[in-house]
Amino acid sequence: MKFSYDWLADFVDLSGITPVELAEKLTYHAFEVEEVSTYGAKIVGPITAGKIISIEPHPNADKIRLTRVLINDTDTYDIVCGASNIEVDQIVPVALPGSIVINRHDNSPLPIKKSKIRGADSNGMLCSASELGISTDNSNNGGIYILKDSNIKLGTDLIDLLNLKQDYILHIEPRSNRPDVLSHYGMAREIAAIFNLPLKEPKTNINEFSQFQEAFIDLDINIENKEDCPFFSLCGIKNLTDINTPSLIRHRLEAIGVRSINFIVDITNYVLHEMGQPMHAYDYDKLDNSRAFLVRRACNEETITTIDNRLRKLNSTNLVIANNQKAIGVAGIMGGIESEISNSTQNVILESACFDARSVRQSSRSLGLSSDSSLRFERGVIKHMTLNSLNRALYLILNYSIASNPNIKYSKVFQTGDLNEQTNRVSLSFKDLDNTLGVSIDTATVESILNKLGFSVIDKNQFEISVQIPLHRLKDIGESIDLVEEIARLYGYNNIPLEPLETIDHIPHNQNISDKVKENMVGFGFNEIWTSSLIPKKRSRNTDIQVLNPVSQDHEYLRSSLIPGLIQAFEYNLARQHKDIFLFENAYVYKHDSSITSTTLDLKSTGVSQILSLAALCFGSNERQNWLNLSQETTELSFFRLKGILENILVNLNINLNLISWDSCDNEYLHPTRQASIIYNDPSRKIKLGHIGEIHPKLAIDYNTKQRLSLFEIDLDAVQGLIFKDSFKSIANTPFVNRDITIDCDTIISHQSIKWAIISQNYDKLTNLELVGLYRPSDNIKSLTYRLSFQDTSKTLLAQEIDEIIEKIRLNLIEKFNVSFRGL
Amino acid sequence: MTDQEISTQLQSIKKEALTALSHCDTLDLLENWKQAYLSRKSKFNDILKNLGKIGDVDTKKTIGELANTIKDELLKTFDEACTTLNAKFLNEQIQKEAIDVSLPGISYKPGHYHPLSQICQNIAQIFSSLGFEQVFGPEVETNYYNFDALNIDADHPARDEQDTFYTSIAPHVLLRSQTSTVQIRSMEKTRPPLKIISIGRVYRNEEINARKYPIFHQVEGLYVNSKVSFGQLKWTLQKFINAFFERDLKIRLRPDFFPFTEPSAEVDCECPFCDTKGCKTCGHKGWLEILGCGMVHPNVLKNVGENYQGYSGFAFGMGVERLAMIKYGIYDIRYFYNNDLRFIGQF
């Protein structure tokens, strides 16, 4: 929101306070001022109103003329002018030598001095609107700014009259709990408290104009539901003439970004930004002259065309103002176009009302329409300002009209509803205040701060103070902590001293599984990625949780796997010429227990489990391109390289690999014969940890490359539950013996089944078993070489003892798998 | 044979042996020489074997001594020859194996942490050293934990402002819009005193641009004890900011509004990149907006039940992406989620 420094100064004396100082104090005691900008160029006088008394052709030029201008009773100036819209007797702005206006070609400062133009003396300049930094008036586009008000006295200083002063705009985003500062008057009240200055009230005394009051109209107001609209007031004005919006009003509105429309509409907007009270004006002649106004909920199928010229379908959430059965405005949001004020409007009904915040919010949402007006009603207008604001609007209209329009009349105010509000008192204990802030603030300071903010002290003793809440703070003040905040911010957050925390009595153990896993993955040459947990439908599974109001279709489902994100990141990088891509992500995935329905769910539960997952993708090699040509890619390398890394991760997490099995699996995006599910088996349980595989060849076609892509994903929460910290085992000094055995078997028999067949027998001298060789003598036979390690911790093993174990192994394997042993 | 003859013979064997030794230029030849001259089957040994037959004790002694001297000398010379030859071979090998040490090393491509990970770990470490325990909370949340328990009532504009994502599960199930949910969940689980931080993902329905992304991360801190003050909050945040930027920076607080804290403040610190002179990072303001904080609102403590009656606390929250963008000078939030290796590789 924009606030005009000049406007604020109407209500609080800002002399001696620069806009920057004001912004700084506001920022540290109330609301952040995001920016201070200037509005309007720096115009320097003397610029006066002058009357053109003659226009002669220039002897040496066609397009410029010689004018003589009278600037007071006696003094005339000869000025050369190039504009074509001037005529004798017009009153125009005259920049005299020494003044500075704006160069309309490049907006730079243009100093005015006596000069000769093509041989003719020119002692100043007649100015256009843009040369004075005011927005171009539609009537004299590009020409000299003709002052319409014929009553202007010659020689009048136009800097003040046209409000040509440079203004400063404070950009402030008031907080949602402070509807009382959504206006210049409200903000000035805050400034007055901070600087300890008196607050000046806006002029609302219409009794000054009592001779213009007349009972020319009788209005009838009905409110269907007092909760939707606690207060509603109207006032009629007749015999308006088309007058220009006074430049002060227009200038200030434009300075804060509000477009000037016409006198009446500008006044209603001005009052909104000055008092914080939204106003509306109806062209009474367009209302079928019906005197009955009804505030009611819209009927279904009812429509209205709002002043933005859009037809809107209404429903029962929309509160409307109806006249003669017909909706003429959406309450608190926008008026209807039929009764819109125009330049030719003569008779007006002004409305100032108090609409319920929730009702306006719902109405605004259902129409998808918000306005300066609805924004204020939604936050809650200050009820007692309603009538004040109506009077203020009336005051301004009369004040600016009567000089040129002695026939103007206004009616009395017609109102329905109650403006009285219950005020509350609130108490604050001085001890609580000091404890909360960590500083002792003396009671006199406390009292003075509360007074400045408009709280009146009802009662006080050495322990506590009781105050009455001012009417404009009923929305955000209700309990003692609210007073603590008010006192703290006026005292100054930055004046509260630092206080060390007491000695740390608890050392957290923060090493978590993620830190460890990430360290490992990075160590293995993987790059960590963070992907969006919201994914598009095409990458989701049909059990994934759907977001009802997604920001886009790319973010519609909550992922149940990290794989889609990995693949997306892979594709992104592949398209950017990366040849070897090693990625991992360690993040949450989300699974909804579909047995829990929304009806069985209590309001504190979601039925969703959040699982910490680790997924990795490898494509190509993680070795650097080397000049020794060491690496040899086979198609299987990708899978086994990734599997090796996963095994290392599990070992580093203290998972016993001998309890992990790599079983068949049917993930549809993985290669059907190159994928495995990773299962943890111990005698008591079987837990699926995840899966690993090469990407399905049909998906890999898109990648247009011969390199293989492998992926795994594991459930780290499940893994964490299996971590077993072994205690130290003493080291045996007896020698160990390695024996290699080579087995020929059918290719369908897996390494895993052979390995398990051996280790499940628990031969106590067999300490390790490792596959050291594999080759395929023919298509359906494979030959596996295992290195068996034997050790007896108490003595040196005899060859005979080892032979006996190997013989048992041989018989066992022959029986189970019909293998043959080479060399035995 | 006479003594004289024997000694002459020994001397001649010695001479012959030394000559032969000087021609041995491989380790095999040296071994053969040793067999020929110093083994049990050597001529030298043959002579010594016959020594026993000499009757005269003095003669026996003289010859014996001579023989031992010669044997020692031969052995010594042999050892020297071995050493020399080994040294020679080693030197040859070394010369032959010369490499161009300036060739590039053979290595694996290093992996990289995502910058957000590094920032999160950094933050967790700093708060850990101040005694804050790291906790985690769910991202799929309920209206209760995301709003109600945090003193944000149904009509509160904050519920509009935050534009929360709702899910198909149930009307009250949403994606949390702030990590403050963890405050409530932690207090429900643990009795005071409580000193936690939680770093996690939050969701807001906002159009994607250089500054905004519908998902981002927050750090939430909470300290509840019998007498916690605003001064302690300021001290804690001052220590954090100094540690995070690795230098002492002034902080300043501005009033702000959060429904779950009161008094509430926004904290700025001096821009560490320009010493408050104004630069691109701080938007030429000289100060950086770092975090929001405040004293835990009494209603929040009330909402978690009687265990927290009579306690007070402070809470703070900050955006991880924002801190990362400041620290590394990243100007577009989308870099964090594109996962371009040219980006991640820089961290």
**CATH (domain of A251):** 3.50.40.10
Q: Considering the domain boundaries, does residue A731 fall inside one? A: no
Q: Say if CB B10 and CB B67 are below 8 A apart.
A: yes
Label residue B95 by pLDDT band (50, 70, 90).
Answer: very high
Return the ∠ at Cα B308 (arms to B307 and B311), rounded to 5°.
140
Pairing of strands A527-528, A581-592: parallel
Among partner residues A496, A527, A610, which is closest to B139 by beta-carbon distance? A610
Tell whether the model's pLDDT for residue A675 goes beyond 50.
Answer: yes
pLDDT for A805 equals 93
pLDDT for A281 equals 96
Label residue A138 by pLDDT band (50, 70, 90).
Answer: very low
Same-domain check for residues A692 and A742 = no
Task: Using an 8 Å CB-CB cutoff, list chain B residues near A175.
Answer: 256-257
pLDDT for A209 equals 94
Q: Say if CB A69 and CB A126 are below 8 A apart.
A: yes
pLDDT for B162 equals 57
Residues in Cβ contact with A602 at an 8 Å cutoff, skipping those fewer than 6 apart: none
CB spacing of A558 vs B140 below 8 angstroms: yes
Q: Say if CB A382 and CB A180 are below 8 A apart.
A: yes
In B282-311, the residues whose Cβ lies within 8 Å of chain A are 295, 297-298
Which DSSP state fits A594?
Answer: T
Distance, CA of B347 to CA of B345 (rounded, Å): 6
Average pLDDT over residues B21-33: 89
Report how far apart the first and last C-alpha atoms of chain B are (Å, whole number).
91
pLDDT for B14 equals 87
In B313-342, the residues whose Cβ lies within 8 Å of chain A are 336-342
Distance, CA of A178 to CA of A175 (rounded, Å): 6
Q: What percent of chain B has pLDDT over 70?
A: 98
**What CATH number should be reported for the domain holding residue A126?**
2.40.50.140
* Site from A558, A581, A614 to mutate, B interface, most B CB atoms within 10 angstroms: A558
Q: Considering the domain boundaries, does residue A729 fall inside one? A: no
Same-domain check for residues A176 and A236 = no
- In chain A, helix, strand, coil percent, each to 5? 30, 30, 40
Q: Say if CB A604 and CB B305 are below 8 A apart.
A: no
Label residue A144 by pLDDT band (50, 70, 90).
Answer: confident
Same-domain check for residues A378 and A518 = no
Residues in Cβ contact with A321 at an 8 Å cutoff, skipping those fewer than 6 apart: A280, A293, A294, A295, A327, A328, A329, A331, A351
Q: Say if CB A731 and CB A643 are below 8 A apart.
A: no
Check residues B221 and A91 and name the one with the higher pLDDT: B221
In B242-281, the residues whose Cβ lies within 8 Å of chain A are 252-257, 259, 262-266
HSE (side-chain half, CA atoms, 13 Å) at B206: 17
Same-domain check for residues A369 and A259 = yes
Same-domain check for residues A793 and A648 = no
Of A290-304, B100-114, B194-208, B333-347, least confident by mean pLDDT is: B100-114
Nearest Cα residue to A404 out of A543, A602, A174, A240:
A240
Average pLDDT over residues A209-219: 93
Distance, CA of A197 to CA of A260 (rounded, Å): 32
Tell whether the model's pLDDT for residue A268 goes beyond 90.
Answer: yes
Same-domain check for residues A35 and A62 = no
How many angstroms separate the CA of residue B64 from the nearest CA in chain A? 47
Burial class (CB in 10 A: 0-12, 13-18, 19+), A311: exposed
A233: tokens are: 């007031």
CB spacing of A493 vs B170 below 8 angstroms: no
Q: Considering the domain boundaries, does residue A725 fall inside one? A: no
Q: Considering the domain boundaries, does residue A579 fall inside one? A: yes
* CB-CB neighbours of A476 under 10 Å: 18
Nearest Cα residue to A65 out of A113, A129, A128, A118:
A118
CB spacing of B130 vs A504 below 8 angstroms: yes
* Site from B119, B123, B140 to mutate, A interface, most A CB atoms within 10 angstroms: B140
- The predicted-structure confidence for A742-760, as pLDDT tens digits, reads as follows 999 999 999 999 999 998 8
Residues in Cβ contact with A749 at an 8 Å cutoff, skipping those fewer than 6 apart: A817, A819
pLDDT for A630 equals 58
Q: Say if CB A341 and CB A348 are below 8 A apart.
A: yes
Among partner residues A28, A484, A555, which is closest to B214 by beta-carbon distance? A555
Task: Specify the amino acid at residue A458.
Answer: I
Distances (CA, A) of A635 to A623, A641, A708, B36, B84: 16, 11, 7, 61, 53
- The predicted-structure confidence for A584-608, as pLDDT tens digits, reads as follows 999 999 999 878 777 778 889 999 9
Q: What percent of chain B has pLDDT over 90?
A: 63
Domain annotation for chain B: domains and CATH numbers: 3-96 (no CATH), 115-344 (3.30.930.10)
Label residue B5 by pLDDT band (50, 70, 90).
Answer: confident
CB spacing of B106 vs A590 below 8 angstroms: no
Average pLDDT over residues A688-705: 86
Check residues A160 and A649 and name the one with the higher pLDDT: A649
Nearest Cα residue to A219 out of A236, A206, A202:
A236
pLDDT for A824 equals 60
pLDDT for A749 equals 93
**What CATH number should be reported for the domain holding residue A599?**
3.30.930.10
Average pLDDT over residues A245-259: 91
In which domain, by residue range, is A81 found? 47-161
| Angle between helix A799-817 and helix A751-759 axes, rounded to 10 deg | 130
Can you give the C-alpha Rg of chain A in angstroms? 42
Q: Considering the domain boundaries, does residue A637 fall inside one? A: yes
Among partner residues A508, A527, A532, which is closest to B128 by beta-carbon distance? A508
Nearest Cα residue to A99 out of A42, A38, A44:
A44
pLDDT for A510 equals 60
Averaged pLDDT score across all residues of chain A: 90
Same-domain check for residues A298 and A371 = yes
HSE (side-chain half, CA atoms, 13 Å) at A474: 12
Residues in Cβ contact with B8 at an 8 Å cutoff, skipping those fewer than 6 apart: none
Element (H, E) at A19: helix A19-29
Tell whether the model's pLDDT for residue A671 goes beyond 90.
Answer: yes
Q: Say if CB A694 and CB A671 are below 8 A apart.
A: yes
The total number of structural domains in chain A stands at 6
Q: What percent of chain A has pLDDT over 90?
A: 65
Nearest residue on chain A to B251, alpha-carbon basis: A494
pLDDT for B297 equals 96
CB spacing of A481 vs B116 below 8 angstroms: no
Q: Considering the domain boundaries, does residue A500 fall inside one? A: no
Please tell me whether the peptide bond between A777 and the residue prior to it is cis, using omega within 30 degrees of 0.
no
Q: Say if CB A569 and CB A583 are below 8 A apart.
A: yes
Return the ∠ at Cα A333 (arms to A331 and A334), rounded to 5°.
95
Same-domain check for residues A521 and A664 = yes
**What CATH number should be reported for the domain holding residue A752?**
3.30.70.380
Distances (CA, A) of A599 to A595, B138, B144, B149: 11, 21, 16, 22
Q: Considering the domain boundaries, does residue A201 fall inside one? A: no
**What CATH number should be reported for the domain holding residue A490?**
3.30.56.10
Nearest Cα residue to A449 out of A488, A496, A419, A392:
A488
How many angstroms separate the CA of residue A624 from the nearest CA in chain B? 5
Task: Using an 8 Å CB-CB cutoff, list chain A residues near B231.
Answer: 437-439, 496-499
pLDDT for B109 equals 86
Task: Using an 8 Å CB-CB cutoff, list chain A residues near B140.
Answer: 545, 558, 590, 606, 608, 610
Q: Which residues of B179-212 are buried (b: 16+ CB within 10 A; e: fewer)?
A: bbbbbbbbbeeeebebbbbbbbbbbbbeebeeee
Averaged pLDDT score across all residues of chain B: 90
Task: Specify the amino acid at residue B215.
Answer: I
Domain end, chosen from A673, A693, A720, is at A720
Q: What are phi and psi of A164, to 5 degrees?
A: -90, 0
- The predicted-structure confidence for A340-383, as pLDDT tens digits, reads as follows 999 999 999 999 999 999 999 999 999 999 999 999 999 999 98
CA A294 from chain center: how many Å?
A: 38
Tell whether the model's pLDDT for residue A264 goes beyond 60.
Answer: yes
* Site from A365, A547, A622 to mutate, B interface, most B CB atoms within 10 angstroms: A547
Q: Which residues of A39-52 are buried (b: 16+ CB within 10 A; e: fewer)?
A: bbbebbbbbbbbbb
Question: Which pairs count as long-range contacts for B199-203, CB under 8 Å and 24+ apart, including other chains?
Answer: B199/B120, B199/B123, B199/B124, B199/B134, B199/B320, B200/B136, B200/B137, B200/B139, B201/A533, B201/A587, B201/A588, B201/B139, B202/B139, B202/B175, B202/B176, B202/B177, B202/B178, B203/A534, B203/B139, B203/B164, B203/B165, B203/B175, B203/B176, B203/B177
Q: Say if CB A732 and CB A793 are below 8 A apart.
A: yes
Average pLDDT over residues A637-661: 92
Q: Considering the domain boundaries, does residue A508 fall inside one? A: no
- Could you write out the three-class secondary structure of chain B? CCHHHHHHHHHHHHHHHHHHHHCCCCHHHHHHHHHHHHCCCCHHHHHHHHHHHCCCHHHHHHHHHHHHHHHHHHHHHHHHHHHHHHHHHHHHHHHHCCCCCCCCCCCECCCCCCHHHHHHHHHHHHHHHCCCEECCCCCEEEHHHHCHHHCCCCCCHHHHHCCCEEECCCCCEEECCCCCHHHHHHHHHCCCCEEEEEEEEEECCCCCCCCCCCEEEEEEEEEEECCCCHHHHHHHHHHHHHHHHCCCCCEEEEEEEECCEEEEEEEEEECCCCCCCCCCCCCCCCEEEEEEEEEECHHHHHHCCHHHCCCEEEEEEEEHHHHHHHHHCCCCCCHHHHCCHHHHCCC
- The predicted-structure confidence for B133-174, as pLDDT tens digits, reads as follows 999 999 999 999 999 999 988 777 667 655 899 999 988 999
Same-domain check for residues A685 and A747 = no
- The count of residues in chain B is 347
Residues in Cβ contact with A367 at an 8 Å cutoff, skipping those fewer than 6 apart: A312, A314, A318, A330, A333
Average pLDDT over residues A451-466: 95
CB spacing of B144 vs A604 below 8 angstroms: yes
CB spacing of B231 vs A437 below 8 angstroms: yes
Same-domain check for residues A439 and A371 = no
Label residue A629 by pLDDT band (50, 70, 90).
Answer: low
Same-domain check for residues A30 and A172 = yes
pLDDT for A700 equals 81
A148: tokens are: 């319409």
Same-domain check for residues A346 and A389 = yes
Distance, CA of A296 to CA of A330 (rounded, Å): 10
In B60-119, the residues whose Cβ lies within 8 Å of chain A are 103-104, 106-114, 116-117
Nearest residue on chain A to B103, alpha-carbon basis: A627
Distance, CA of A67 to CA of A58 (rounded, Å): 9
Q: Where are the beta strands (DSSP E) in A382-451?
A: 409-417, 425-429
Label residue B322 by pLDDT band (50, 70, 90).
Answer: very high
A194: tokens are: 């901070």
How many angstroms separate the CA of residue A770 from the nearest CA in chain B? 25
